[in-house]
Amino acid sequence: MSDLPFWVVIPAAGIGSRMQADRPKQYLPLAGRSLIEHTLDCFLNQPGLQGLVVSLAEDDPYWPELPCAQDMRIRIAPGGRERADSVLNGLDVLAALGAKPDDWVLVHDAARPNLAVTDLHRLLATLADDPVGGLLAVPVRDTLKQAGADRRVTATPDRSLFWQAYTPQMFRLDALRTALSGALAAGATITDEASAMEWAGQAPLLVEGRADNIKVTRPEDLDWLAATKLSDND
């Protein structure tokens, strides 16, 4: 078990339109609780946790109804137009809570509730003294195809060179804040925190994790997780 001090930001202001649900996907039920409650559980009882911030959409009607909304260990930040904006707002709240420029911050998807504690500890231990930081990832297993605009195959890349990026992604507070701010100001395409660090000229380290640390994006993802959680309770 790692006791490395760390902070957490969970951007949770998205609507998850691909789920075609009646609410943002982080509030969909999973084994009797919401997705985001399972996600928060991945961090709340870890010995190194210094503070946790959830970035929420304005006038979010679902969060106040959850028991975890009363948990004093959780602070709220305003969500932004893009994920990067929500993360930046979360970093600002962490700084106000006392996080120092060189403190480690883990950013994790609200709809990724199946993070194994062994993966979390591996990430913390591997990156503890790293000069840049990094992220959990999984080597691509299947053959990849590059397609043209007409969806016809133009190439078959060497899959050994590719990894699928997961979360948590772990970087120093000030370095991440500077990278995100700069990338947004430059109009760069930022899909995750690592891409912001890459834009800033850094090379994040890939830490291999479990493939079942999936992000709920489509209804079948939730079905698979529901079966997994139920089997865990048997």
**Domain CATH for 19:** 3.90.550.10
Has residue 196 been placed in a domain?
yes
25-42 pLDDT, tens digit per residue, is 999 999 899 999 999 999
| Count of residues making up the chain | 234
pLDDT at 234: 44
The residue written with tokens 């403190």 in the block is 103
Has residue 38 been placed in a domain?
yes
Peptide bond into 29 cis (omega under 30): no
Domain extent, residue 203, equals 6-232
Has residue 173 been placed in a domain?
yes
pLDDT at 22: 81
Decide: residue 198, CB within 10 A, 0-12 exposed, 13-18 middle, 19+ buried: middle
Residue 172 tokens, joined: 């120093």
What domain count does the chain have? 1
Has residue 1 been placed in a domain?
no
Residues of the chain with pLDDT under 70: 1-2, 16-20, 229-234
